Chains A and B, each alone.
Chain A
Amino acid sequence: MNLKLRALAKSPWVYHLSTGSCNNCDIEVLDALTPRFDIERFGCVLVGSARHADVLLVCGSMNRKTIPRVLEIYEQCAKPCLVVAVGGCACSRGLFKDSYNVGDSLDKYLPVHAYVPGCPPKPEAIILGVVKAAEVLKKLEKGESPELPVVEENVAQVSDLEKM
């Protein structure tokens, strides 16, 4: 288990999931992956299927239409799988909070391990978000309980991580 977690933290494979975004955050994730800002130097690779993913980069506010589909994709990810909420919409629905087609924010459905605010966040911030999420894994491997990023209502608890 220790060896697996250590290998995981050294090379987290990334899956990009857009839950109905305006595509700005998607473009910045693309910038983070390409050679200028280069998240591949940390060992991250973009994978084509959620079943191969270690880190889910979630963009967009959750539409009513995408809620069951996102839950299905999260079930397909092999645990432990880290969730990084990229952009203001994924953190807390942003300015679409009162819309009729938007449900609850992402952290009411999935445990989120890093929040990257911004509209859109800079690629450097997205890289920092993935690195912080990978540090959560390192702390798990050492047996410490990791300090999750503190938000208004902290829904993801340490006990959720242990269930992973």
Chain B
Amino acid sequence: MNNYIEIVKDALKSVATEFNVKSEKRVYVVVPKEKIIETAKIVFKDLGMRFAIASGIDTPRAIEIMYHFSPDAYNMLVNISVFINKDDLTIDSIASVITGAAWIETEIREMLGVTFNNHPGPEKLLLGDDWPEDLHPLRRDNKDTRSTAAIRERLRRDGLLTASD
């Protein structure tokens, strides 16, 4: 297991800025957002890891997207995170390397407002047809999305609230 972590560290040394080994089952890597496609190619094609899911969170300094890869034979997770500054919320889509990543990127775009360059996939998966374009429910810095009640208040102001209670 430690041998494999050394292999991963060696393969990612050209792109990773931080490499934390939390335990023998969990590895956390930070890469700059310009190198994400190169990282995806190394991890998916050369090392053969399975892409599990991606998760996004809104933090005070940036929006963090964490891609979770799983080398199943070694019983561990390799979590690769990128930090995207809020003044330029774009990142390359890894759907050109991993076809299965298109849907989760659509969900991240809908809920957090990150723009993915060259994104092939569906436009909307979670939110309704008449949802306002600038309302991203999982952002925490926006006054309108601070809480569920705030989102409902914003929908009521826009005249879109369908519930009568």
Residues of A within 8 A of B (CB): 63-65, 67-68, 97-104, 108
Contacts and interface: CB of A to CB of B under 8 A. Distances in A.
Interface of B: 126-131, 137, 148-149, 151-152, 155, 162-165
A103 B163 contact: yes
Contact of A99 (B127, B129, B148): B148
A25 B6 CA distance: 47
A68 B129 CA distance: 9
22 contacts: A63-B128, A64-B127, A64-B130, A64-B131, A64-B162, A65-B127, A65-B129, A67-B128, A68-B129, A97-B165, A98-B149, A98-B152, A100-B137, A100-B148, A101-B126, A101-B127, A101-B128, A101-B137, A104-B162, A104-B163, A104-B164, A108-B164
Nearest to B162: A103
Contacts of B165: 97
A65 B163 contact: no
Contacts of A63: 128
Contacts, number: 35
Contact of B151 (A67, A100, A103, A108): A100
Contacts of B131: 64
A102 B127 contact: no
Nearest to A104: B163
A137 B103 CA distance: 44
A105 B61 CA distance: 40
Contact of A100 (B129, B130, B152, B164): B152
B122 to A, nearest CB: 12
A23 to B, nearest CB: 16
Contacts of B152: 98, 100
